[in-house]
Structure 1
Amino acid sequence: MSLQHRGIHRLGYVRLAVEDLDAARRFALDTLGLIEYDAGPGSQERVYLRCWHEAHAYSYVLERGAPRLVEIGFGVRDTDDLAAATARIAAAGLTAEAAGAGEVLANLGPSLAVTVPAGPTLRLFTDQAVPGYVVGQKAPDWNTPRSLRGTPAPLFLTHVGVTTPDPETAIAFLTDVLGFGVSELLTTDDGDRTLSALLFRTNNGQDIAVFPGMDVRLHHVAFAKEDEVDILRDATWLRQDGVQLDLYGPTRQSYGRTFSVHFHDPCGIRYELCAGGRFSELHPQFQPVRWTEANLGKALA
């Protein structure tokens, strides 16, 4: 009998609205190296994308609309998990909005949505179509598909960064109600206020990153790469395509323990390609790494 990891067990997708859907789609496919999933008729105003190393149908959804972070999707095991989450959300004084299979996104199972206090909207779902790896399910060679070579072609969606004017409230809901762990956190020098946190339900250290900001919005979408050499090569390809990298370029970030490069697409979406990360575990003895404002330069350098 397999071990049942109850509650949220994976980061499923991030869903964004953009004014210029064609430009965002073109960048994601031609420059970033994602793959489009055919959701069938009636999906002209929405694009479903995934990485070549992902077996599920999509991990990145773009749709036409006023620019915003629409929602972040997290997978749970079954409807029992949805019912348990609904009860915990209600006990916290909030209401979860339920949706049937296929009502919200293509080939997505039953789900519920909740807006995190001072945070983004999250959708918990039971299942999603699994067309399988593009390199095959039987004895794959795991080489980047030929059609994607010359682009970053990331492996999988690794985390989503969001900003909030009240990080402590958002972090408290994510940990106390939805069961996220904290792998790293940044506080004021006196330790009285938490300014930022990396939260996880999986073992890669962060599924959602919370940063301080003027309002609730997307900070960045992060995709995983193999190692530092990959990141440096990707930076060359991005520059070749005319992409402006963030000023500090590829860098080792101690906060999160990743080697990363950040950049924007023509629609203003901020992307991160990262390798590494800190192993995390939902265990009572797991302790977060702590940073303060005084060592912020070290944390992000």
Structure 2
Amino acid sequence: MNFDIKRTGRAVLHVTDLEKSKEFYESLGLIETESDDENVFYRAIEDHNHHCLWLRKMPEAAVEVISYRVDSEGDLDRLADFFETEGTEVIWMEKGMQPAIGRTLRVQDVSGIPCEYYCEMDKVERMLQRFDVHVGAKVQRIDHFNCAVPDVQKAYDYYIDKLGFACSEYTTTKGSDEVWAAWLHRKPGVHDTAFMNSIGPRLHHIGFWLKDPMSLIDGCDYLAAKGLAPTIERGPGRHGLSNAFFLYLRDPDGHRIELYNGDYYTGDSDFDPVEWDLDDPQRQTFWGHEAPDSWFEEASTFLNVYTGEKVETEQPKLDKRKPNTII
């Protein structure tokens, strides 16, 4: 491929109650850049661009698009040529059609996920040393997306072979070569996107990076003090897969957010992906405790980039949807 996708960039979420959503996201430490009665734009502490999360007030909660940043405007043109050669319809959104961002292209990917690619975004003050506004978990930056898809192998092959992603870790079922989940990256970390076997396509979660494990604890304490402890779905804990510390939360509309710290460098050319067995109890949580059923069964609805309608979902190709874990 002759284009350069750099990293996870931003997400656009539809929410039904902007004030409740603001209370939740600001309690995580995200910083409001701009807002009106219908929209809120958030950035994280490290961000020098306008936003990494755009909340749009709508009658129904949904995921409008997940976005990746590319290196140059030329990369956008080359991506468009690639998608059109593949027979994928490209939707161009010219500069000025969306707040604070340059031209973007949107496509429905091979799994039906609404994806966007962009290069340019307005610059703003970086808040890294504005310690007076660091609260909650002190979110540093957006890190990754995790998507539930009906055919993980199909998504894996497309992102590896066609879009130039690399695999850091993957999950198989005992006695089989079938991939149950995969963690893929463009930046030299564990992942920019991940795919897991489930009813899909749906967005499982958006992951945000924290500066250290203690920020997870600070985040829990701050949420509890604000009366938002019920938003905690899972954790804190340490993943076996990725080695990262985690905390999973649900926003007022059920969109799942992961607070995340402590994965590792994957940029060497001779890096070998790590394989996990689905039923290994240390895979999902290194300390051995199980994830709740909601973590496997519930996810956010995607919207079609061409029609704006909900993307139809399919049953997963692999029958097994969650591990058999005996503690």
Give the TM-score normalised by the residue count of structure 1. 0.87
> Are 1:199 and 1:207, in contact at CA under 8 Å, matched by a contact in 2?
yes
Residue aligning to 1:78: 72
Task: Give secondary structure in 1 for the equivalent of 2:140.
Answer: coil
Between 90-99 and 266-275, report the one with greater CA deviation. 90-99
Q: CA deviation at 1:93?
A: 2.6
Q: CA deviation at 1:206?
A: 0.8
**Which residues in structure 2 correspond to 1:1-301 (within 5 Å)?**
6-29=3-26, 31-38=27-34, 44-65=37-58, 66-103=60-97, 105-135=98-128, 142=129, 145-149=131-135, 151-242=136-227, 243-244=229-230, 246=232, 248-281=234-267, 283=269, 285-295=270-280, 297-301=281-285
> Are 1:23 and 1:267, in contact at CA under 8 Å, matched by a contact in 2?
no
Looking at structure 1, the residues matched to 264 and 233 of structure 2 have their Cα atoms a distance apart, in angstroms, of 25
Looking at structure 2, the residues matched to 282 and 13 of structure 1 have their Cα atoms a distance apart, in angstroms, of 26
Task: Give secondary structure in 2 for the equivalent of 1:294.
Answer: coil
Q: CA deviation at 1:181?
A: 1.1
The one-letter code matched in structure 2 to 1:38 is: E
The one-letter code matched in structure 1 to 2:282 is: K
Task: Give secondary structure in 1 for the equivalent of 2:279.
Answer: helix
Q: CA deviation at 1:245?
A: 5.8
Superposed CA RMSD: 2.0
Q: CA deviation at 1:90?
A: 2.5
> Are 1:47 and 1:62, in contact at CA under 8 Å, matched by a contact in 2?
yes
The one-letter code matched in structure 1 to 2:102 is: G
Task: Give secondary structure in 2 for the equivalent of 1:254.
Answer: coil
> Are 2:3 and 2:79, in contact at CA under 8 Å, matched by a contact in 1?
no
Looking at structure 2, the residues matched to 88 and 292 of structure 1 have their Cα atoms a distance apart, in angstroms, of 35
In structure 1, the gaps of 5 or more residues are 136-141
Q: Percent identity?
A: 24
Give the TM-score normalised by the residue count of structure 2. 0.80
Number of matched pairs: 282
Relative distance call for 1:85 and 1:235 in structure 2 (3 A) is same
Residue aligning to 1:139: none
Looking at structure 2, the residues matched to 26 and 231 of structure 1 have their Cα atoms a distance apart, in angstroms, of 18
Relative distance call for 1:192 and 1:162 in structure 2 (3 A) is same
Looking at structure 1, the residues matched to 137 and 72 of structure 2 have their Cα atoms a distance apart, in angstroms, of 34
Q: CA deviation at 1:248?
A: 5.0
Q: CA deviation at 1:239?
A: 2.1
The one-letter code matched in structure 2 to 1:168 is: Q
Relative distance call for 1:207 and 1:282 in structure 2 (3 A) is farther
Q: CA deviation at 1:115?
A: 1.1
Q: CA deviation at 1:16?
A: 0.9
